[in-house]
Amino acid sequence: MARYDVEDHRLPLIGNHGNDLSPVLSPRITEARQYGGLLSLQELQKKRLLPLQGRKRKVSYTYMFKVDSPFPHFTLEVYDPQKEEVGKITNKDFKGKWFILFFYPADFTFVCPTELLDLNRRREEFRKLKTEIVAVSTDTVYTHKAWVEMEELLKGFKYQMAADHNGKFSRELDIYYEEGGMAQRAAFIIDPDGVLRAADIVSDAVGRSAGEILRKLKALQFVRNNPGKVCPASWEEGEQVIVKSIKKAGKMYKELRRK
């Protein structure tokens, strides 16, 4: 049986594959996806998605998230500033709920505390939408605790803070900045079925708006609860929506002026 040197025992089948195995996997990626996206080496070989014989190879993989597809599985250590306790979270903890993973570069930096403050100020609005938020960086839970206690902007911060301190999950999502050893500013909105519905990444020097994340969340919840209706650009709660119909194609100017 072939032996493979890999960075992780479980091989994501969506993303950038090593040159050696690309010819083997590429024609069967669609077939592989039906098995959940992640299979062990033995499972891959059993389902004949990898050869049983061959020379020793070194392969690296990246999951690469995809909107409107199941979000990758994760397990992360977290610091809860309300309880002052350390725990762990996985996808299963959010089953049946909307949740947001809010990645930021690092504790004890400059833009990051302003972003978390912005999120904290909107906490009640997110709670009304029954949405949980977890802030994530490549720091440890101990650094999270020290930062929250020292930084006055984070006084009263209530969200759980996850520690991807080895960068493993950030690398799987392809949002890891290797030179800096930090995650990018990325926000992922996942629906109650575990499906990724929105992903947003911005440059390290630019802080994000909790208000915009909230706006997108409201729009996503609206279309989920109202099949057949869609939200136009910059839609805010209570504003006009569009009911999809072939009869309206090419006539949106009149449709939007009607109300």
The catalytically annotated residue of 39, 112, 148, 220 is 112
- Kindly list the structural domains of the chain, giving each domain's residue range(s) and its CATH number in brackets, ordered by start: 4-59 (no CATH), 75-213 (3.40.30.10), 226-259 (no CATH)
75-80/160-163 β-pairing: antiparallel
Percent of the chain with pLDDT over 70: 75
**Minimal CA–CA distance to 50: which of 74, 18, 72, 73?**
18
**Would you place residue 46 in the very low, low, confident or very high pLDDT band (cuts 50, 70, 90)?**
low
Q: Give 136-146 pLDDT, tens digit per residue.
A: 999 999 999 99
Q: Confirm whether 112 is a catalytic residue.
A: yes
pTM of the model: 0.77
The predicted-structure confidence for 96-135, as pLDDT tens digits, reads as follows 999 999 999 999 999 999 999 999 999 999 999 999 999 9
Query: How do 196-202 and 131-137 pair as beta strands?
Result: unpaired
CA distances from 241 to 10, 45, 122, 216, 221 (A): 43, 49, 25, 14, 13
